[in-house]
């Protein structure tokens, strides 16, 4: 067996990761079941190293995004930081890539569902076009919107805020 070379600093090679097999199995099981994870350990115990290991060993089952919140104190700090915006940007660019001929309808629905207070919008108040309900169902399935009866709203207020800022629709007061 070859010795593990010293790896000072935070960027360690996941190929040399050892241990935490049960943690890795439990994390995979929970994520596949739709649950979320919370890692808590004292500083310097390997949480970030494990996350990099986990992200590189899951056979493309997940789309991992590692976000560094150090020095971020407000949602605006996070959203306005171009280095950390990438994972939200991925969700926003999917509308153009995955909705094909329905892209314009999807964008108009998302624009119309924007509310400063995350309130519900009735489906009848959204732009109507052939296939509108199919597009709304897809936006709900893709987690942009959530539905309740014949009303929808953005599922994640932070994502709605980013969408609105990127489209110059509004800015949070």
**DSSP state, residue 100:** G
Among positive and negative, which fits the CA dihedral 99, 104, 106, 111?
Answer: positive
The pLDDT value recorded for residue 121 is 92
Are the CB atoms for 146 and 153 separated by under 8 Å?
Answer: yes
Tokens (6 digits) for 161: 């805020």
> What is the distance between the alpha carbons of residues 111 and 79, in angstroms, rounded to a whole number?
19
> What is the distance between the alpha carbons of residues 74 and 84, in angstroms, rounded to a whole number?
13
Are the CB atoms for 86 and 110 separated by under 8 Å?
Answer: no
Residue from 64, 53, 3 nearest 25 by CA: 53
> What is the distance between the alpha carbons of residues 38 and 145, in angstroms, rounded to a whole number?
24
> What is the distance between the alpha carbons of residues 133 and 1, in angstroms, rounded to a whole number?
60
Whether this prediction's pTM lies above 0.95 is answered by: no
Q: Residue-wise pLDDT tens for the chain (173 aa)?
A: 666 555 555 556 666 666 778 888 888 888 888 888 877 778 777 777 787 778 777 766 776 666 667 777 776 666 666 555 555 666 667 787 788 889 999 999 999 998 877 889 999 999 888 889 999 999 998 888 999 999 999 988 777 877 887 777 765 54
The pLDDT value recorded for residue 3 is 60
């Amino acid at each position: 067996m070859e010795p593990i070379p010293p790896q000072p600093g935070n960027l360690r090679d996941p190929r040399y990761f050892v241990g935490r097999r049960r943690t890795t199995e439990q994390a995979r099981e929970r994520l596949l079941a739709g649950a979320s994870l919370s890692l808590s350990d004292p500083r310097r115990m390997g949480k970030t190293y494990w996350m990099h290991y986990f992200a590189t060993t899951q056979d493309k089952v997940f789309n991992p995004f590692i976000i560094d919140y150090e020095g971020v104190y407000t949602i605006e700090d996070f959203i306005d930081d171009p280095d950390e915006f990438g994972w939200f940007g991925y969700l926003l660019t999917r509308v153009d890539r995955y909705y094909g001929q329905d892209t314009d309808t999807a964008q108009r629905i998302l624009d119309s569902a924007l509310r400063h207070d995350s309130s519900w919008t009735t489906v009848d108040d959204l732009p109507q076009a052939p296939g509108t309900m199919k597009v709304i169902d897809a936006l709900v399935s893709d987690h942009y919107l959530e539905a309740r009866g014949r009303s929808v709203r953005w599922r994640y207020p932070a994502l709605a805020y980013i969408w609105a800022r990127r489209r110059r629709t509004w800015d949070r007061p």
